[in-house]
Structure formats: C-alpha cells, structure tokens
A and B are shown apart, each in its own frame.
Chain A
Amino acid sequence: MKIAVCVKEVPDAGPGRRMDPGTMRLDRSGERSLNSYDLNAVEEALRLKEAAGEGEVVLVSMGQEKALESIRKALAMGADRAVLISDEGAAGSDLVATSYVLAKALEREAPQLVLFGQSAQDSDGAVLWASVAERLKLPMVSQISELEVAGGQITAKRQTEFGYDRIQSPLPAVLAVADSLNEPRYPSLKGIMGAKKKPQDVVKLADLGVEADRAGQAGSRTTVSALNPPPSRGDTVKIEDDGTGAQKIMAFLVERKFA
C-alpha cells in the first residue's frame, strides 16, 4: 500500500516567535523543526507499512527548500522518500491555495491513504486535511485515535467532545490522526545517517501543473489587513500571598460566579 503523509516545517515554539510586520506573515527565520503532530501521522504510516510487510511511505510538503532539514527527521524514522514543493510563487499561500497545491501533488502520487497530523503548531488551523479531501473528492476522517486498515477499507475511532464515533470508509481516503493515536518512535542512528541518501524531490509549481494564479498570494482568498497585539487586560487583579492567598482567589472567583 502506498501511503502519503503530508508534513510541515514550523518555527520552534518559544518567546522568539513573531509575525513579521512587513509581510504580515509568520517569521520563519530562527530554529525550525517538523510539526510534532505530523510525527504521529508518520508513525502510523510506518506501522501500517510494517504490518502489511510491503508498501511505500511518501512525505509530501510545501515550504522553503531548507525545510528538507526538518523533513529528514521523518525520513530517519523510516519514510521512504520525500516530495517538497518549493517555489517562490507559493509563498504566502492561504488554506485555499495550499490545499490546491497539495492536492495537485497528491494526485500525481495517487496513494491509497493520505495521512495528516491533527493540526500545524504554527497556524493551528486544523482544516487543511478537510480542504485537501474536498479537492481530491475523497472521504475524510479526522481526530482518529484508533485505526485499522483491512480488506480495502479503514475502520477508525474518532475522538469528539462528546465521546467516540466509529467510522468505516473505503480506500482511498484522507485521514487526520490525533496525537493520542500512537507514540512516535525515535529515529535510529542508522536511520539518521541514511536519511540524507533517500530520494528527496524538490518540485516547482509548474511541475505539478499548478497555474500561477492558483498559488501564493494570487491564489489566496484571504488577506491580512492589519496586525495588532492582543489588548492588555486592564482589570488584572494581583493577589499577594500573605497566607490568605487561597481564600482571596476563591472570593475573586465566587464574585464573578466562576465558583
């Protein structure tokens, strides 16, 4: 079975993370790594391949060319190869444009399963997988906490606010896995040392047949009009703990009907 895993390089979380006021986009300089939720998707793909005893795990990503450094972590874990769409014309793509480009790349790969992590740590949208499934006209299941693939179909347990759904779907399908699904493995030292030698194709939009006006800012349907820091909370109350701190906090909560 051929499995595609969509992955993304994100800036490391921390106080240094910022929006660039000039481009009004996330500042992607500084330390970066693979979106940690994607590791659950990679892990699941590897387990499915290992259980089947055959198959291929292909990583599909869009980003700057230097993103290959982060993507290699998933190759070190055991993925077979990577396809990175890296093109100046793709910079600033929103959900609409990104899902179009990814769908084009996935059409070319024609996998039986497309796996996503639950969300990306930088933009936190948690909808890209739905848009990609829509474009590919494939069934989609999100927030999967248990997965079984057998007899040409999947059975998934879907985590919701109210309990669990059990969903069956034919293949091919697009799946977004929850971080509770599995514990991503550590890459082995041999895996790390061998990752560089695995196939890593960097492709342009034109290679995928993506029209210039369907990607980047031109292909996006959202614009950022302004950036503002969150307003300061004027009504902050500071409680000094002189031994009665707990009671004061309780009184504060009761007064506002939180307790």
Chain B
Amino acid sequence: MPVEPAVPAGLTEHQTAAWELAREFAQNEVAPHAREWNAAHRVPVEVFRRLGEIGLLGLTIPEEYGGPGLDATSLALVTEELARADAGTSVAVAVQNGLVASPILRAGNEEQKREWLPRLASGELFGCYALTEPDAGSDTASLRTRAEATGEGWRVTGNKMWITNGGIADVFVIFARTGDPGAKGISAMVSGPGDGLSVGAEIPKLGLHTSSTVELAFDAFPVPRSGLLGAEGEGLKLALATLDGGRITVAAQAVGIARAALELAVSYATDRQAFGGPIARFQGVHFPVAEIAAQIDAARLLTLHAAQLRDAGRPHGAAGAKAKLFASNVAVRAADVCVQTLGGYGYSAEYDAERYYRDAKITEIYEGTSQIQRMVIARDLFGGAAR
C-alpha cells in the first residue's frame, strides 16, 4: 500500500508534473512487469524508448536540444519513482541524463550538443559512461586506457569495466589517457560505435537484472579530433564534476528502493495473519518498520536538498555525498527489514522483497562507494588538512 513520502517545500509546477507523470508511468507500465523482467534478466529497451517519447529519458536535456529542459530536482523525483517500481529501469534514465547528457552539456561544443542530445532525449540513442576500468574504480586518476595521437585524432586502447547501459549503447563517453600519468593526463571523448570497440557479454551480478552492465574493449579505436569533449587534459575534472550530480541520482534511486520495501512490509504485515490476527499488531513488527519510515523521509529530504542546491548553482558535492551515503544505507536497511517482516516469503522469489534486498546493495557501491562518500564529506569539513 502506498505510503506518502516527505516532500520539501517549494517544488515547482514542472517538477511536480514530472514526478506525477513518472509515478503514473512507473506504477502502470513498469511495476507490474518488474518481477518477470528481473527473473528473465531482460533489459526492457522498449520501455526505455517509451520513456524517451514522453520526455522522461532526457529529462534534463534543454528544450533547444529536444528535451523538456528540467532540472536535477526533477531528475531525482523521476529516478526515485522509477526505482520504486524497478531499480534497473531507473538506472537507464539516471545514466542517460546524469552521466551522458550531463558531460556533453557541460563540456561539449555546439556541434557535439546538436549531434547527440536530441537523439538521447528522444530515446533513439542510448548512451554510456566509460570511466571505470578493471584496475581503476575508486582510484580514477590511475586509469590506463591510452589514447595515442594520430594526425586526425586518437586511437584508444584499453578496457572499461562495469559499464551501465553498455550493452544497449550507441553513444560512448570515454575517458582515456592522452598525456602523462596522473590526473592531468586524462581527456574525455564522445563517439558512436565502430571498428576497434567490442562490447562484452552481460556481466552476471547480484541484482539490477533489468540493467545492462558490460565490459568494453577498445583496440586502436579511432576517435576524430571533433570527438574531444572539453579541453585536452581536463577529462578527470569533467568526470568528477559529472559524478557530483550522479551521486544525487543514486541517492534518489536508493530512496525509491527503500520506499518500495517499506510499502511492501506495511501491506504484508497488515494482511498476514498469525496468532489470531494480523502481524501488524506486534511491536516486534512495528519498531523496525517505523524506524525505516523515519529514515526514508530523512533520506528523501537530504537527497532533494542536494538536488535543489545543484539547481540553484550552489556547491553540492558534499551535500550529494551525504545524501548518497545516508540514502544508500537506508535502502539496504529497509530491504532487510522488508525481508525480515515477510519471513520465509521475504526470502522467496514469489515476493519482491528479495529483489529489493539484492538491488539495494549496489547503491552503496557505484558512483563512489560509501567509503569514498565519507572521504568527500571529510575533505569538505577538513579541507587540505584531510589529505
């Protein structure tokens, strides 16, 4: 049964419209199929395209490039509602906006924006973000993928790991080393597919079975000069700035999973009969559920606060890190409470509890682990003294 979430003051009419549309679409077109899709490990590309048709896939892409031109707050609200129905589906939208459209908007030139953004907004194209490598996750600056300069551009060689949307992608935002070792030698590029880029098989994983996750192998993959995104050597800066926004979206996803878990726990405990009545009579059921209900509201307000800071053009790196750190932990706990409330049924794949349990964990890992979030927060508090 639906549980009304905490809503911050001052949501605009457009933000509310995006939220309502996402809720309606998610509840009618995603939630009823989520269990089946996940069990079959099916990436529902046709649903992602429909999200493009109604404007939710390229939510933050400006109107001049074919999107509805909404903001980070809207993206958080939409991601949360999609995650409440199916976490994997929400990832596709989060990546398209937060990791693909966002760096193109931030660093791309007019030609690049015109080339990629309208088709990313409509759902004609899907994009992915090729940053992480088998040996460079949290330690991004150590990435090894090399871009050798040629007369017309570069030839990129190296492997990229855990690439979300990689299996369905037509647009690749690539981070590769054009210069010396270290942070300053990395550049960002944007390209379509081509010879020299092979997409690996889907990587088996604990959850998010409706989301594509692959390894990409670049072997002398040619990228012309026109594919350079921003200035040469500025790639890592762009990557980290992009992740500042991405964290807020992951926090929103965590809130969505947590809300779904809470709602299932409440409806199950209300219906389930034991010892002569519903188990919702027992304090042993009340306390954990009440606790996560309070934490979910807190997580949601933290997340939307960070989004509102971003929309106001104010620093939001630490706020986003706090939101992600807290919300991802709430998601993991809420899923645990949900499974425990449902008991044996919670452990069975007949109910969604076990899916929430598996899907929640990734929010503590990707786009910066909880440990990295603590570092970001600490650096904000201690400044140079933290290093």
Residues of A that sit less than 8 Å from B by CB: 186-190, 192-193
Contacts and interface: CB of A to CB of B under 8 A. Distances in A.
A86 B92 CA distance: 45
Contacts of A189: 17-18, 21, 54-56, 59, 68, 70
Given A186-B54, A188-B54, A188-B55, A193 B24 contact: no
| Chain B contact patch, size range | 10 to 19
A193 B54 contact: no
B14 interface: yes
Describe B's contact surface by its main secondary structure.
Answer: helix
Given A186-B50, A193-B17, A193-B68, 9 more contacts: A186-B53, A188-B54, A188-B55, A189-B17, A189-B54, A189-B56, A190-B55, A192-B17, A193-B14
A187 B68 contact: no
Interface in B5-57: 14, 17-18, 21, 24-25, 50, 53-56
A186 B18 CA distance: 12
Contacts of A193: 14, 17, 68
Contacts of A186: 21, 24-25, 50, 53-54
9 contacts: A186-B50, A188-B54, A188-B68, A189-B21, A189-B55, A189-B70, A190-B55, A190-B63, A192-B17
Interface string B83-100: 000000000000000000
B70 to A, nearest CB: 7
Contacts of B14: 193
Interface string B265-304: 0000000000000000000000000000000000000000
Contacts of A190: 55, 63, 68
Interface in B65-107: 68, 70
A188 B53 CA distance: 7
B117 to A, nearest CB: 15
Contacts of B17: 189, 192-193
Contacts of A192: 17, 21
Contacts of B24: 186
B68 to A, nearest CB: 4
User: Residue among A186, A189, A192 with the most chain B CB within 10 A?
Assistant: A189
Contacts of B55: 188-190
A193 B54 CA distance: 12
Nearest to B56: A189
A208 to B, nearest CB: 32
Contacts of B21: 186-187, 189, 192
A188 B55 CA distance: 6
A189 B21 CA distance: 7
Contacts of B18: 189
Contacts of A188: 53-55, 68
Nearest to B70: A189
A35 to B, nearest CB: 16
A190 B50 CA distance: 14
Of B14, B54, B70, most A-chain CB atoms within 10 Å: B54
